[in-house]
Amino acid sequence: MAGRVLSTIPENGPMVEIRHLSSIFNLPDRRMVVHKDLSLTVERGEVMSIVGGSGSGKTVLLRQILGLERPAAGEVRILGQPVASLSRHGASARVGMLFQHGALFSAFTVLENVAFPLRELKTLPPRLIEEAAMVKLQMVGLKPTDAKKMPSELSGGMIKRAALARALIMDPPLLLLDEPTAGLDPDSSDGFVRLLRSLHHDLALTVVMVTHDLDTLFELSTRIAVIAEQRVIVAARPREVIAYRHPFIEDFFLGERGQRAMELLREYPFAI
Ligand SMILES: Nc1ncnc2c1ncn2[C@@H]1O[C@H](COP(=O)(O)OP(=O)(O)OP(=O)(O)O)[C@@H](O)[C@H]1O
């Protein structure tokens, strides 16, 4: 199904092109400019991590790539097509998103949650939808017996896995991750990062991720884009970003965190 939609798009060219983006919110007392002339290109197969200060507009950017929010100016293209021109089906066949808190529907079972985007399409028989959802559950390391569980019966790591299965149900080539390991204990976090690494490789996914967690950042990123002063000031390999002179980068990567960053760079010199 996703293949049918994707067959109409070019086989070459970047996965995501963000051009001259402006994001403005009109608050009761002022006009808040979040992005100003922000541009970024994500090539196919990359894991592009976005870092920036609190309120720098990382989540807003993910929502714009997903088509949930329209920028005030500029454009986001996915596989050559403006996001604003994609139908809901076209967008979900191209992009899956893992929201920060998993965002499962609490009244649905795990299986119903994972199957939800396919059910919404109303084009496949229930049996096929269920089979597709079971395949995705297995892919993210959940057991068949987890399918009938309610979200309240799951651990934090299992919720993330179920939400990831749902994000992948339409086989999108692009996966967006908002703080994928936030709130997980170190073991669950390591397990989830390992899962993301193997899915990125096995499914030939392109990933755009927002994370504050240095281990997640260095274990997964092929490039890191830094948002400061309302735009992307640098988008480069981790080693080059650390060496880039800018007060935000020095704050983010130096000091105690910086020491960990250097250790991680030694452990993962060629991230992915
Ligand atoms: N719909 C909205 N209406 C008004 N302001 C908004 C809206 N969405 C986001 N903002 C504001 O835009 C700014 C950027 O928000 P965003 O959530 O993208 O930041 P962030 O970089 O992800 O921050 P954090 O690291 O703290 O999660 C924030 O100041 C936020 O309050």
Q: Where are the domains of the chain?
A: 2-103+173-267
CB atoms within 10 A of CB 270: 8
- C-alpha of residue 100 to centroid of ligand 1, in Å: 13
Residue minimizing CA distance to atom 31 of ligand 1: 55
pTM of the model: 0.90
Cα-to-centroid distance, 237 and ligand 1 (Å): 26
List, chain by chain if needed, residues with CB within 6 Å of any ligand 1 atom.
25, 34, 52, 54-60
Architecture of domain 2-103+173-267: 3-Layer(aba) Sandwich (3.40)
161 in Cβ contact with 140 (< 8 Å): yes
| Number of Cβ within a 10 Å radius of residue 253 | 24
Per-residue pLDDT of the chain (272 residues; tens, 9 = 90+): 444 444 455 677 899 999 999 999 999 999 999 999 999 999 999 999 999 999 999 999 999 999 889 999 999 999 999 998 887 777 778 999 998 876 889 999 999 999 998 888 777 888 899 999 999 999 999 999 999 999 999 999 999 999 999 999 999 999 999 999 998 999 999 999 999 999 999 999 999 999 999 889 999 999 999 999 999 999 999 989 988 999 999 888 876 676 777 777 777 655 54
DSSP string, the chain: -HHHHHTTS-SSS-SEEEEEEEEEEE-SS-EEEEEEEEEEEE-TT-EEEEEE-TTSSHHHHHHHHHTSS--SEEEEEETTEEGGG--HHHHHHHEEEE-TT----TTS-HHHHHHHHHHHHT-S-HHHHHHHHHHHHHHTT--GGGTT--GGGS-HHHHHHHHHHHHTTT--SEEEEESTTTT--HHHHHHHHHHHHHHHHHTT-EEEEE---HHHHHHH-SEEEEEETTEEEEEE-HHHHHHS--HHHHHHHSHHHHHHHHHHHHHSTT--
With the most atoms of ligand 1 within 8 angstroms of its CB, the residue from 25, 62, 177 to mutate is: 25
Q: How many A from CA of 74 to the centre of ligand 1? A: 18
Instruction: Identify the CA nearest to 65 among candidates 102, 98, 103.
Output: 98
ipTM, two decimals, is 0.97
Burial of 128 (0-12, 13-18, 19+ CB in 10 A): exposed
Mutate to test the pocket of ligand 1, among 26, 59, 69, 97 (most ligand atoms within 8 A of CB): 59
Q: From atom 25 of ligand 1, which residue's Cα is the shortest distance away?
A: 54
